[in-house]
Amino acid sequence: MEIRFEYTRKRSDFGRPCSFSDLPAEVTVDIPPDPSLAQDFIPQDPVDFALQHGPVMALHEVNTERVQVTSQGVNHVEGGWPKHVDPRNSELTSRYREEVEREEIYTRAILRLGTLMEHCIRQNNAIDIYEEYFAEDEEEEGDEEPPSAKTINVLRDPNPVKRTATHLSWHPDACKELAVAYCSLEFQDRRRDISFDSYIWDMENPYKPELTLMLSSPVVTLEYNPKDWHHLLGGCYNGQIVYWDTRKGGLPMEVTPVELSHRDPVYGAIWLPSRTGTECFSASTDGQVLWWDIRKLSQPSERLVLDITREDQLKNALGAISLDFSMSMPTKFLVGTEQGSIINCNRDAKTPPEKIANVFSGHIGAVYAVARSPFYPKVFLSVGDWTARIWSEENLDSSSIMETKCHVPYLLDGCWSPVKPAVFFTAKSDGTLDVWDFLFHQKDPSLSLKVSNDPLLSLRPQDNGRIIGCGTKLGTVTLLEISPGLCTLRKNEKSVTSTMFEREARREKVLQDKQRELQVRAQLLAKAKKEEQEDPQEVFKQARADFFSVIKAERQRRGDTES
C-alpha cells in the first residue's frame, strides 16, 4: 500500500488540539478481488448481516412546575378572651380568670389533663433522649487532628499609597462586618497622595469597602459600641477622639477639640459599660488617660496622669501604647507603656495617685498589647520585646507567672482566645502568627503560620474563636480559619487551666520569697565581712577603751559600797 497523504507539522505545533472539519468521502485504496483465491472459499447464499456503528441513545425532557413563593408576616397577639374582656386591662382579665377557675367544668378539665400531663412527664424523666453516650470518644477523635489554619479571605487597602492596618474591630452582631483602622505610624511620613480614610468591610463582599470613614487625621484605633452597634469610636493620630453613626454615612458625628485632646497619637479607645452606652475612655503616648461622653465631646469628664511616682506630674508620666478593659472588672483597666511597664489602674480611687494601684515590670521594650483573660479576670497577657508573658494580679511584687521563649523577631501584638482559656495568639515582625496552647506545649507554639512577608501589627479574633483577622504593615488584612481543635472547649479544660495558673502563681511566689531570703542573707554576710576587714589598730583601741571603762565602773561601784 502506497502512502497517499503525508501529514507534516511544525515542532512548535505539537501538543495543540486538532481542528477537524467535514469533507466529502473519497476512496483512498481499492483492492480488486483475486479469482485465484476463490477456490479456497465456500460461497454462502443467502447472506444477511447487520452492522450498527453508532450507540443507541434516548432523549428525555422534564419540565417541573414553578412554585410561587411569597413572604408574609404574622402578628401574634394575646387571644382566647371573650369580646367583653379587654386583654390590655389587667383588672378585667384577672376578674374573668377568677370566674372561670370557680366553675366546675374548669376543675374537671384540669384533673383530666393533669393526669395525662403527669404521665407524659414521667415518660420524659424515665430516659434522657438527648444523652450523648460517646461524647468522650468524639473528643478523643477530634484531638487527633493536627492544628492547622487556612486563609478564607484577604482585604487589601484600596489606596495606591499603602498604610498600616493598625487596629481591627468586629461587628458585635454575628461579626458580619469588620472595621479596619489604617494609619502610617512612621514619624513625619510625607508621602504624596496618602489617604486618611479608614474602612468598614462586609465579609460577603471583600473587594470593595462597605463604608468609608472620612476624617482630617488618620485613625489609629477603632472600636464598635457593644451596646449600640451603629456607633463607632476612633482615636486619631493627632490626639483627637471621634465617633461615627454608620446609619448616617462616613462623616464623623462629632470630634473633640484639639486643645483639650491628647497631644500624641491615641493608641487605645474603649467603650465603657453605662446606662446610656455613650461613655468611653482613651489613652495616648502623652501619658494621659481621658474619659469622655459622646453626648458632650467638648471636654473630657475625667483625667488621669500615668505618673508611677504618684506625684501627678505630666513630665514624669509614662506613655501609653496599649489599653485593655474587661466587663468583668468595670472599675479597673490595664495600660501598657512604652517603657516596658504595665500599670493596673482603679478608677474608683479617691485621688489620682491612688488610681495607680500596681505597676508590673518585666519587659525590656514597649508593651504593644495587654489583655485580661476572658475566663480569669485576675490573669492577664502582655506582649512586648521578644516575649509574651502571663501575669497574676495576686502576685504584686513578683514577676510573670509564665512566659514564652525569646523569639528572634519582635512580637507586635497578642490576644486571648475567646473560647479556650489556655490559648492565645501572638503576631511577629516577620509576618508569622503563633497559636499557643499552654495546656499542651509551653516551649513551642502549637501552630506557627507564615501569613505574610510583611510585619503583623494587629490581631482580633471573632467571638466564636474560629476566625481571626491579621493586619499587616502594608494594610492587608488576612482572615484565617483555625482548626476545630484550637477553638473547641474540651471537658474540664477550665478547671485544669485554673489549676495550672494557681500552681504557677504559688511557685513564683515561693521563688520570690526565696530570692528575698537570699538577698537578706547576702547583705548580712557582706556586713559581717566588712566588720572583719576593719583596721586591727582600731579594733585594739576599741577593746582597750571598753576594758578601762569596765574597770572604772567597777572601782566606782566598790567605792560606793565601802562608803
Q: What is the pLDDT along the chain (563 residues), one digit of tens a residue?
A: 566 666 677 777 777 777 778 888 888 888 888 888 877 777 777 777 677 666 677 777 777 777 778 888 777 666 678 878 888 788 888 888 888 888 989 889 999 999 999 999 988 888 887 777 776 555 554 456 788 899 999 999 889 889 999 999 999 887 889 999 999 888 777 788 888 999 999 988 888 899 999 988 999 999 999 888 889 999 999 999 999 999 998 999 999 999 999 999 999 999 998 888 899 999 999 999 999 999 888 999 999 999 888 888 888 899 999 999 988 888 899 999 999 999 999 888 888 888 888 899 888 889 999 999 999 989 999 998 899 999 998 887 768 888 998 888 999 999 999 999 999 999 999 999 999 998 888 889 999 999 999 999 999 999 888 999 999 999 999 999 999 888 888 888 899 999 999 998 888 888 888 888 888 888 888 877 776 666 677 778 888 888 888 888 888 888 776 66
Pair 452, 541 in one domain? no
Find residue 291's DSSP bridge partners.
281, 302
In a domain, 127, yes or no: no
Pair 497, 462 in one domain? no
Pair 517, 397 in one domain? no
Which of 170, 172, 189 is CA-nearest to residue 180?
A: 170
Pair 392, 283 in one domain? yes
- The CA R_g of the chain, rounded to the nearest whole Å, is 41
In a domain, 131, yes or no: no
Written as nine digits, the cell of 125 is 424523666
In a domain, 515, yes or no: yes
The DSSP symbol for 478 reads: E
Neighbouring CB atoms inside 10 A of 322's CB total 24
CB 322 within 8 A of CB 275: no
Alpha helices in 102-198 (DSSP H): 104-126, 135-143
What is the C-alpha to C-alpha distance for residues 150 and 141, in angstroms, rounded to an integer? 21
Pair 241, 285 in one domain? yes
Pair 308, 160 in one domain? yes
Pair 520, 389 in one domain? no
Residue 351 phi, psi (nearest 5): -110, 155
In a domain, 159, yes or no: yes
Which among 463, 485, 507 is the end of a domain?
485
Pair 333, 347 in one domain? yes
Residue 560 phi, psi (nearest 5): -65, -35
**Type of residue numbered 153:** N
Pair 200, 315 in one domain? yes
What SS3 string covers 492-547?
A: CHHHHHHHHHHHHHHHHHHHHHHHHHHHHHHHHHHHHHHHHCCCHHHHHHHHHHHH
Pair 506, 428 in one domain? no
In a domain, 71, yes or no: no
Peptide bond into 374 cis (omega under 30): no
Which of 485, 283, 302, 444 is CA-nearest to residue 370?
A: 283
In a domain, 477, yes or no: yes
The pTM for the full model equals 0.67
In a domain, 200, yes or no: yes
Q: How far apart are the first and last CA of the chain?
A: 164
In a domain, 103, yes or no: no
Pair 533, 476 in one domain? no
Which among 485, 520, 546 is the end of a domain?
485
Which CATH number belongs to the domain containing residue 464 in this structure?
A: 2.130.10.10
Which among 485, 514, 538 is the end of a domain?
485
Pair 252, 209 in one domain? yes
What domain count does the chain have? 2
Q: Structural domain of residue 542, as residue ranges? A: 491-555
